[in-house]
Amino acid sequence: MNYLPDRHRIILIMRLFLTVFLLAALPLVAKPRPKPADSPVDDGATQIAEQVKPSVVKITQMGRNGFDGLGSGFIISEDGLIATNLHVVGQGRRLQVETSDGKAYEVKAVQASDYHLDLAILRVEAKGLKPLALADSDKVKQGQPIVAMGNPQGLAFSVVQGVISATREIEGNSMIQLAVPIEQGNSGGPLLDRKGRVLGILTLKSMRTENLGFAMPVNALKKLIAKPNPVPMGRWLTLGVLDPRLWKTSMGARWTQHSTIVKSELQGDGFGGRTLCLWQGSEPVVPFEVAVSVKLDEESGAAGLVFCSDGSDKSYGFYPTAGQLRLTRFDGPDVFSWTPFQTVDSPAYHAGEWNDLRVRVEARHITCYVNGQKVIEQDDDEYRTGKAGLCRFRAPGAQYKNFRVGSDLTDKPIAADIASHVTKALDAYAAQSTSKDSTLDALLANVGAAHRLVVERAKKLEQEAVALRKLDVSLQQKNTARALAKELSKPEDKIDLFQAALLIARHDNANVDPAMYHRILERMVDELKGDADIKKGGLAAIKRLNRYLFEENGFHGSRHDYDNIANRYISEVLDDREGLPITLAVLYLELGRKLGIEGLSGAGLPGRFMVGYRKDQASPVTLIDVFEGGALLDIGDQTVKALLDPRADHSEELLRPATKKEIVVRMINNLIGVVGGEDGMRAEMVPYLNLILEIDPASWRQRGQRAMIRMRGKDVAGARQDISKILESPPPEMDDEQIQQLQRMFQQLGEGQH
């Protein structure tokens, strides 16, 4: 019997276990808007277009040979701010903005940008421009009529009308789905209501049908307007660019080259985020081989080789995806015209590392290899002409090196006598029984063979070194987890919350020195302990602490890099003076404790962690929003209400101080949220689940998650161990049927081991 259970049982168990905490959602307060143009009346698309046309711009990327790309944008301030998509801006290209009256402006700065939202704001030197009014995209309705403007296929300042189909989540972002075609060049243009107000920024074209597109809601743009992160064009243009004589890209995204490494970033315009980069050498003739070494930024992505490509929608692709290898034939722009021949697991593929992909194309047969091992064979002869190159899907980026095309790219066997000669020379050198010069003399007689054997030996040593380093990381993490559990086992008033937070940072970075950061904290205490307001205590001390942290020392909530994992480590917060609500709160609480400011506690609001202050037990709670510079709020404040479920009574929750253990667990869950992926089932979660289980072995949901991740990774013994632990003392939340399902799963896993 197979050791893995069937799909239905896995789903049942996953439903039992999979509980993911949604933390640190980032609501934003009201933001200032640029001065809007007068809102036109609803007199039809023609009049709207005439009214809006002066505010819509054409954005041109200027390459080495002139024109290099085209997109759209629209004016959002009189003094030269232009909204568009980030992928329209690209990297390493000068940008020119042209208004409908033919005036052209060179872009001086990228005023704001957001990779995840695919939005950018450009700045040009101009006065008296006509900005568009921005609507509230949270109020869009299904079936609402809209107008879209842009530069489709280079046709400047075109207009098309349609309706809103729905709102959908795509790649983690809420998007407006449109019953209107979004063509190349429309990206970055405004989506307008029938009063000429901007509802969204046109950004994606669906490949299922021509009359379907998407737009990023304009409320996302308002975040960038309120919190700019300007970069002068002189800095924006410094990234490497591909040589257009060697490579040709299509379907958007960002392709750059540094030295021998080609890098692909941002999601492509093709369906599924597809983007291509085709080699401009001669088309290979059957039989031929094509190869490249590829490294994915994240294993949830997909990137590799494309061959027999027509430069657009038709080709073959061989690439790793989610830790597996896949061969696909693409016959069109949407998923319905794709034929995934095979998707296979292979131990020859090394997740997170460089992997060498190779494909051999014969008259009727395709053979695929990874790191020299054959993984896929497929009979198919649909396409045999076209370009070869690189492909990528979805949002995570990838790197490529050593791309090559030829009739036979296999490594030829090394003659036994040559291999023996080279091996003896390498053995002598490794044993330090011969000099470097003598070794080189011995190897120079067979340079090609020597190079291959040296690389192979180095790779084996590197793999052994990687395994040992992983073991050392696990050793350090286990030791840190025990230290954290020991700290949190103390009585509440004896727990050092700052030390616990530092141990979380040290868990992920063994170079973190807790003693050094304790000294930094003590220096901060020394600077404040003699202050008159601090000695007064109460609100006077709190306001003084706010000025010290947020005005005098520049500590602040992370705006434009919120998802950076560094924000979750107290050590990085002290280094960079930037962090999440909870890490800033830990610093605030510990400073307050050491300064003797009474009445402070953690306030674990569902949407944002804050610090609570209460003068005495009879006094109401004042909330200190450390993410917003220490703003003092009461429970009835709109900012607080926005973070709470209006259907629930949160008064007791807000009044009850969060325990130090609860704060630490929430910090760990924040880290789980970063690495967990969309399905919350990535192997990277395991070290953090281990942390929680070390702190609280009775955390059955985390134990269940770990069991499922272990099962997915074919660690049957580990999965059985976790399930057995749950069955020893089932939690009250589990009913008899769920327990029986677990028991059956446990038995099936055991049968698979025999």
In this predicted model, what pLDDT tens digit does every residue of 423-459 receive, in sequence order? 999 899 888 988 988 888 888 888 888 888 898 888 8
Of the residues 234, 255, 285, which one is the last residue of a structural domain? 234
Of the residues 365, 380, 406, which one is the last residue of a structural domain? 406
180 within a domain of the structure (yes/no): yes
35 within a domain of the structure (yes/no): no
**652 & 581 share domain:** yes
**157 & 218 share domain:** yes
Structure tokens that stand for 408 in this block: 């036979």
**567 & 699 share domain:** no
Whether the per-residue pLDDT at 422 is higher than 80: the answer is: yes
Q: Residues 265-275: what's their mean pLDDT? A: 86
**630 & 683 share domain:** no
Pick the more confident residue, 116 or 476. 476
298 within a domain of the structure (yes/no): yes
Predicted local confidence at residue 624, as pLDDT? 94
191 within a domain of the structure (yes/no): yes
**207 & 254 share domain:** no
CATH code, domain with 376: 2.60.120.560
Assess contact for 342 and 383: CB atoms under 8 A. no
- Domain with 254, as residue range(s), is 247-406
73 within a domain of the structure (yes/no): yes
Q: How big is the chain, counted in residues?
A: 754
Predicted local confidence at residue 8, as pLDDT? 39
Predicted local confidence at residue 653, as pLDDT? 59
Which of 34-43, 290-299, 614-623, 635-644 is most confident? 290-299
115 within a domain of the structure (yes/no): yes
Whether the per-residue pLDDT at 189 is higher than 80: the answer is: yes
Pick the more confident residue, 116 or 588. 588
**213 & 269 share domain:** no
Q: Residues 250-258: what's their mean pLDDT? A: 84
**689 & 600 share domain:** no
Q: Residues 121-126: what's their mean pLDDT? A: 93
528 within a domain of the structure (yes/no): yes
Pick the more confident residue, 736 or 374. 374
User: How sure is the predictor about 541, in pLDDT bands with cuts at 50, 70 and 90?
Assistant: very high
User: How sure is the predictor about 256, in pLDDT bands with cuts at 50, 70 and 90?
Assistant: confident
Predicted local confidence at residue 7, as pLDDT? 39
**185 & 275 share domain:** no
Number of domains in the chain: 4
Tell me how many degrees the CA angle 646-647-648 measures, rounded to the nearest 5: 95
CATH code, domain with 82: 2.40.10.120
Helix extents (H) in 614-656: 638-642, 651-655
**625 & 713 share domain:** no
User: How sure is the predictor about 242, in pLDDT bands with cuts at 50, 70 and 90?
Assistant: confident
Distance, CA of 265 to CA of 220 (rounded, Å): 21
Sign of the CA dihedral with 138 first, then 139, 140, and 141 last: positive
Whether the per-residue pLDDT at 634 is higher than 80: the answer is: yes
Q: Which residues contact 622 (CB under 8 A, 6 or more apart)?
A: 539, 612, 613, 614, 632, 633, 634
Q: Give me the percent of the chain exceeding a pLDDT of 70.
A: 86
75 within a domain of the structure (yes/no): yes
> Directed axis angle between helix 416-430 and helix 447-488, to 10°?
50
DSSP for 65-117 reads TEEEEEEEEEE-STTSEEEE-HHHH-SS-EEEEE-TTS-EEEEEEEEEEETTT
**128 & 230 share domain:** yes
Surface-to-core class of residue 362, CB atoms within 10 Å of its CB (0-12 exposed, 13-18 middle, 19+ buried): middle
Q: Residues 415-419: what's their mean pLDDT? A: 88
Measured in whole angstroms, the distance separating CA 38 from the mean position of its chain's CA atoms is: 39
Pick the more confident residue, 652 or 434. 434
First to last CA, the chain: 9
**545 & 645 share domain:** yes
Of the residues 385, 406, 427, which one is the last residue of a structural domain? 406
User: How sure is the predictor about 588, in pLDDT bands with cuts at 50, 70 and 90?
Assistant: very high
Whether the per-residue pLDDT at 52 is higher than 60: the answer is: yes
**217 & 361 share domain:** no
Q: Residues 198-226: what's their mean pLDDT? A: 78
